[in-house]
């Protein structure tokens, strides 16, 4: 279960990037701020295998990363769950960006921008990164 965190190499890391450990020689995918991580979705051993993505958002690292800096941990106290890694990535990016904007208004964009989410949608056709097309249900416990 990946944890939601910002990351210096790809902007943020979870859902799509989580497949890198199962992909042969994923190092070339790190070029261009990891924009082409979506290519892993067409790898035969991974294609169609995703059934459920659960992202740990109990404590979110909203700046820096992947090394944890306690100054940038946020007790979001949630889970983000979905069946589409691109949509889950887009939803997580939305949550993470709202927190960054709150801490450092008016807007504190991730650097580098997490291009891999939109590229996975537009270039590799792996579902949607468009929040207006993603059904988000928030459950309070």
Exposure b/e, 57-93, CB count within 10 A at least 16 = b: beebbbbebeeeeeebebebebebebebbbbbbbbbb
Query: Residue 139 falls within a domain, yes or no?
Result: no
Structure confidence at residue 2 as a pLDDT band (50, 70, 90): confident
Answer whether residue 42 is part of any domain.
Answer: yes
**pLDDT average, residue stretch 11-33:** 84
User: Is 100 part of any domain?
Assistant: yes
pLDDT over 90 (residue 57): yes
Could you tell me if residue 47 is inside a domain? Answer: yes
What span, in angstroms and rounded, lies between the C-alpha atoms of 7 and 72?
12
Confidence (pLDDT) at 106: 82
Domain span at residue 127?
A: 3-133
Is residue 22 situated within a structural domain?
yes
pLDDT average, residue stretch 128-135 = 94
The model's confidence at residue 83, banded by pLDDT at 50, 70 and 90, is: very high
Q: Using an 8 Å Cβ cutoff, are 19 and 46 in contact? A: yes
Q: Please name every residue paired with 80 in a beta bridge, in sequence order, or none if there are none.
A: 55
Distance CA 52, CA 46 (A): 13
Residue pointed to by tokens 């988000």: 136
The partner residues of 53 in beta bridges, in order of sequence, read 82
Domain assignment present for 81:
yes
Peptide bond just before 82 cis, omega within 30 deg:
no
* Structural domain contains residue 91: yes
Total domain count for the chain? Answer: 1
Q: Is residue 70 part of a domain?
A: yes
Confidence of residue 74 (pLDDT cuts 50, 70, 90): very high
* Model confidence, pTM: 0.90
């Amino acid at each position: 279960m990946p944890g939601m965190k910002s990351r210096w190499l790809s902007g943020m890391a979870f859902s799509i990037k989580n497949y890198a450990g199962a992909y042969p020689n994923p190092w070339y995918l790190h070029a261009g701020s990891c924009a082409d991580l979506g290519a892993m979705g067409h790898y035969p051993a991974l294609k169609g295998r995703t059934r459920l993505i659960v992202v740990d958002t109990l404590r979110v690292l909203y700046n820096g990363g992947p090394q944890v800096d306690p100054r940038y941990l946020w007790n979001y106290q949630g889970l983000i769950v979905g069946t589409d890694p691109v949509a889950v990535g887009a939803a997580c990016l939305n949550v993470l960006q709202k927190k960054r904007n709150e801490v450092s208004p008016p807007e504190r964009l991730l650097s580098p921008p997490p291009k891999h989410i939109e590229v996975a949608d537009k270039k590799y056709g792996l579902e949607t990164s468009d929040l207006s097309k993603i059904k988000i249900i928030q459950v309070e416990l």
